[in-house]
Amino acid sequence: MKVKRKERLSLSAMAERLRSVAEEVASGRLALPEGIFEVPGQEGLFSLKVKQEEGELEIELKLEFEVAGAEPSEGQRETPREPSSRALKKEMEALFKALGRELSGGGLPDPALAERFLEVHRLYDPYATEFKSAWEEATRLAEDLLSAVQEGNLDTAREIFQKIALSKKTCHKLYKK
């Protein structure tokens, strides 16, 4: 079954619709006029595509979930694709900058931001063969940063962030090509 919905809404109504869909996905059931859809499993693929050209902005959100026991359709991969090292590095850099902005702005970052920073570090582990010991230290610092943020310790979080920045600078000087 395929359902596609398109309607014109105000920005606040769009935001409310997105919040509603997010809550339904988190609960495992998506209710639409066409029926109730069970969201399978505990994880899925999330993609966000932004395109701006000739005075038009298009934002496309896509959520994909695998149904257990379902046969993959033609052309569909049987195993989920691992994120590329390039994609992980880009996300890590964006997260690093966001954490820095929050900490320099006088507040603690959202713990989810620090948690994702650590998660991306761990996902990058298989690519860090050339500089494994330096990478393990960077990951330990990311763990420490998450702990400081979760504990609400701004001074410690800032101190650890500075260590991460120095570690990053040193590592890139030695290993970045």
pLDDT tier at 172, thresholds 50, 70, 90: confident
Contact (CB, 8 A) for 57 and 50: yes
Element holding 106 (H helix, E strand): none
pLDDT tier at 80, thresholds 50, 70, 90: low
Q: Above pLDDT 70, what percent of the chain?
A: 90
**Dihedrals φ, ψ of 109, to 5°?**
-70, 160
Superfamily of domain 85-175: Cytochrome c/b562 (1.20.120.10)
Q: For the segment 101-158, what is each residue's pLDDT rounded down to a tens digit? A: 999 998 999 999 999 999 999 999 888 888 888 889 999 999 999 999 999 999 999 9
**Dihedrals φ, ψ of 147, to 5°?**
-60, -45
Quote the CA–CA distance of 166 and 158 in Å, as a whole number: 12
For the chain, which residues make up each domain, given as ranges?
A: 85-175
Q: Which of 3-7, 94-98, 164-168 has the lowest mean pLDDT?
A: 3-7
Instruction: State the amino acid at position 88 in one-letter form.
Output: L
Average pLDDT over residues 10-21: 84
Give the range with max mean pLDDT: 15-24, 77-86, 109-118, 123-132: 109-118
Q: What's the confidence (pLDDT) of residue 36?
A: 77
Give the distance between the most distant pair of CA atoms in the chain: 57
pLDDT tier at 81, thresholds 50, 70, 90: low
